[in-house]
Structure 1
Amino acid sequence: MSLFDDDRPKKKIAHEIGSDLSLLSVDELTVRIDLLKQEITRLEAERQKKDASRSAAENLFR
């Protein structure tokens, strides 16, 4: 092990839709599922904010 192993940037975990899952371990699949659940939550929150803005604008022009 090199002294500089900890200095290397960590590989960011990402998931590509439709990618081959057969080479992933159970732990890696769990991490990806958690990552995707967090992303769904983030997307839903943004959708709610945009929907509220649109509703406010529609009410303003009624």
Structure 2
Amino acid sequence: MEEDDLPRPGAPLDIVIKEDLDRLSVHELEARVAVLEREISRTKARLAGARDFKSNADALFSKS
């Protein structure tokens, strides 16, 4: 992972990745994984949409 790929300091993701997991119970860890998996799915869907939009825009403007 490159430096530019890391979240901005103080950003919510920065807080999540630095959280101490040792204090969480099995149930809390399972819940955390479920929430993060849903967020990954949501983010991948948004990424796919952004890529499609960019591809369509590139195709539109390259027809000149």
Is 1:54 aligned to residue 50 of structure 2? no
2:36 corresponds to which residue? 36
Structure with greater helix percent: 2
CA–CA distance in structure 2, aligned partners of residues 37 and 16 of structure 1: 14
What percent of counterpart residues are identical? 38
**Structure 1 gaps, min length 5:** 1-14
Query: What is the CA-CA distance between 1:18 and the residue it aligns to?
Result: 1.5
Q: Deviations over 1:3-51 (max 9, x none)?
A: xxxxxxxxxxxx7212111111000000000000000000000000010
**TM-score, normalization by structure 2:** 0.71
From the CA coordinates, give the structure whose radius of gyration is larger: 1
Q: Which has the higher contact order (CA 8 A, sep 6+)?
A: 1
Other structure's SS at 1:50 match:
helix
Displacement of 1:59: 0.3
Q: Which runs of 5+ in 2 are unaligned?
A: 1-14
Structural RMSD (CA): 1.2
Aligned length in residues: 48
Q: With structure 1 as the length reference, what TM-score do the two structures score? A: 0.73
